Amino acid sequence: MKKITCHYKRVKYTYVKTMVLTLFVCLFFVKGYTVFERTGENFFHIYINGVEVGTVGEEQQAEELLIQARKNIAAESEELTLMETEMTLAGEEVLWGVIDDEDVIITQMEETLRDNIRETMHRAYTMKVNEYMVNLESAEEVCALLQAAIDKYDGEQKFSVNLVHDSVREFNVLTAEVVDSASEDEAAGESTSDYSAAGVEVVLAEMGKSTEEEGEKDFEDYDLGLLSMNFAEEVEIVEAYLPESQITPLQTAIDEVTKEQETASEYEVVAGDTLSEIAIKVNIPMDKILEMNSETLEDENSTIRVGDKLIITVPEPELSVERVEQNYYEEIYDEEVIYVDNDEWYTTQTNVLQQPSAGFRKVVANVSYLNDKEVSREIQKEEVVVEAVAKIVERGTKIPPTYIKPISGGRLSSSFGRRPAPKKGASTYHKGVDWAVPTGTAVYASCGGTVAKAGWGSGYGYVVYIDHEDGRQTRYGHLSKVLVKAGQTVKQGDRIALSGNTGVSTGPHLHFEILINGSQVDPLKYLQ
């Protein structure tokens, strides 16, 4: 019994030793354990944005798993997704430790990343026209927007929009072209049928075409309607990735692009213009024109001159459309006025030599438009039913003389027209204007001419009369001293006398008259 007991103890010791050795070996081969080696950190906890998502045995492995997780999320959508991603590793040195399965780590990474998606960047298209920009969801929406712009003027939807690469740009920039849909279909059909026509058939076809072109067309031979369309401004389109908040709904964009906006513009005054006529021309109410030009215009009677520029607002859409229409119409028309120049007359003098009469005609014309505004009209065929007779006007070419205030400063003490007699012997109808000035103030020729009288003039006191080229005469009265003689030629602005208080006068002043055809008129209406 004693031998057996010793043998049993030996066997038991051997068994325990073997089990310990086996477990130690397993530490090297069983998956999920890291062997303890004194080489520094060998066990890493992975944190994404502060959330632990698993453990690995190597730093590089954590980087690779994060890349895979990001790829998996990106593959779920065609959009560009921006995520808050901050990975940190907490390393330690262990004898052994359990590391997580890679698929489990990737799944936990994805869940954490989805919770931290900052913004999804959608593929979009940015369209730019001048200073206007709009972002749309797709190239199809860009086409729809541009199509809406031309459909506004193309009721038959004869034209369509294509997006094409802008050949003058180095980058991938698109632009828009407007094409005739029917012409495109025709061209496609001709390209296939051309193969069946050859030799004599082609020559005969070309001869037929040239014969048709040489013959004069009748009105019914014209293809009336829209001939061409295009965008007036350059359209630039680029692909971009944008947040959804920056993408404009299609209908909103259509409203913005096609609705007419008020754009500041200028109108240059031409010969014959009046404010009322300009208001009609530009289709803007008179009060609005006065409001926009308040610095230069006081009211509807304000003076305007050729070359003046008035501020106006012209309603225009963000994207303008040019088009040419071929139209047939019948109209009463007038011939242009024929002018006969007379170098002996002033430009203010005219005489009608022949009265006009209207004519009647049938017309086919190509009319060019910018949006709704007609730009030009080119007549293709005209048949005059009743000939118009032109108006013939003889007109002067000489620039008429101008008149200036004959004195510097002074207070307007009496205007032209009826008044109470200022003193006994004075007229109750004032035939000029008076400026109160100290005696001895210089008096200047209001306009160049020849002195007709210089001396005493009864009620005028000392007076000067000057005859002018346009047949008018100016008079300067109540002078203290006359500085010119009768027959003397003077220029506008020459000093001719000194003011005074002679004749029938109530105080020192200058009396000034302008006579036309021998009759006094209100001088203030003629002074510049």
Query: In this structure, are 425 and 466 located in the same domain?
Result: yes
Position 263 pLDDT exceeds 70: no
279 shares a domain with 309: yes
**62 occurs within a structural domain:** yes
Distances (CA, A) of 504 to 91, 284, 342: 119, 54, 44
72 confidence band (pLDDT: 50, 70, 90): confident
What mean pLDDT is predicted for residues 188-197? 48
Half-sphere exposure for 185 (CA within 13 Å, toward CB): 6
| Pair (510, 441) in one structural domain | yes
Instruction: Assess whether 308 and 372 both reside in one domain.
Output: no
Indicate whether 215 belongs to any domain. no
Which pLDDT score is estimated for 211?
45
Residue 447: which CATH number? 2.70.70.10
Contact 250, 125 (CB under 8 A): no
pLDDT number for residue 197: 45
Last residue of a domain, one of 398, 427, 443: 398
Percent composition of the chain: helix, strand, coil (DSSP 3-state, to 5): 25, 40, 35
Question: Residue 515: inside a domain, yes or no?
Answer: yes
Which range scores top for mean pLDDT: 20-24, 200-204, 250-254, 277-281? Answer: 250-254
What's the pLDDT at 206?
Answer: 57
Q: Is residue 13 classed exposed, middle or buried when 0-12, 13-18 and 19+ CB atoms within 10 A define those classes?
A: exposed
HSE-up of residue 498 (Cα within 13 Å, Cβ side): 7
E strands, 347-494, are: 350-354, 359-370, 373-386, 392-398, 411-414, 417-418, 429-430, 433-436, 442-444, 449-456, 462-467, 473-482, 489-490
Which of 57, 84, 115 delimits the end of a domain?
A: 115
Q: Where are the beta strands (DSSP E) in 317-415?
A: 321-333, 338-346, 350-354, 359-370, 373-386, 392-398, 411-414
Only one residue has tokens 């030799």, namely 199
| Top-ranked range on mean pLDDT: pick from 49-58, 144-153, 214-223, 291-300 | 144-153
Pick from 14-28, 273-287, 491-505: least confident: 14-28
Provide φ and ψ at 4, rounded to 5°: -60, -40
Could you tell me the residue range of the domain that residue 308 belongs to? 261-316
Residue 136 lies in a domain: no
Which residue did the predictor score with more confidence, 369 or 33?
369
Q: At 18, is the pLDDT very low, low, confident or very high (cuts 50, 70, 90)?
A: low
CATH at residue 350: 2.20.230.10
pLDDT digit string, tens, across residues 488-518: 999 999 999 999 999 888 899 999 999 999 9
Q: What are phi and psi of 45, to 5 degrees?
A: -95, 130
Query: Does 477 share its domain with 511?
Result: yes
Say yes or no: 521 and 463 in one domain. yes
Whether 469 is covered by a domain: the verdict is: yes
Same domain, 344 and 439: no
Residue 389 included in any domain: yes
The reported pLDDT for the residue numbered 198 is: 45
Do 345 and 440 lie in one domain? The reply is no
- At which residue do the structure tokens 């593929």 appear? 123
pLDDT for 383 beyond 80:
yes
pTM over 0.85: no
Average pLDDT over the chain, rounded to whole?
83
Asked whether the predicted pLDDT for residue 196 surpasses 50, the reply is no
What is the pLDDT confidence band of residue 363, given thresholds at 50, 70 and 90? very high
Band of residue 407 on the pLDDT scale cut at 50, 70, 90: very high
Cβ–Cβ < 8 Å for 129, 318: yes
Residue 285's pLDDT is 85
Residues 503, 415 share a domain: yes
Instruction: Write down which residue in 398, 419, 449 finishes a domain.
Output: 398
pLDDT of residue 23: 60
Specify whether 453 is located in the same domain as 417: yes
The pLDDT assigned to 271 comes to 81
The reply to whether 338 and 305 lie within a common domain is: no
Residue 162 lies in a domain: no
Asked whether residue 86 is assigned to any structural domain, the reply reads yes
Which residue do the tokens 């008079």 mark? 475
Q: Tally the domains of the chain.
A: 4
Q: Among the ranges 114-128, 208-222, 472-486, which has the highest mean pLDDT value?
A: 472-486
User: CATH no. for residue 308?
Assistant: 3.10.350.10
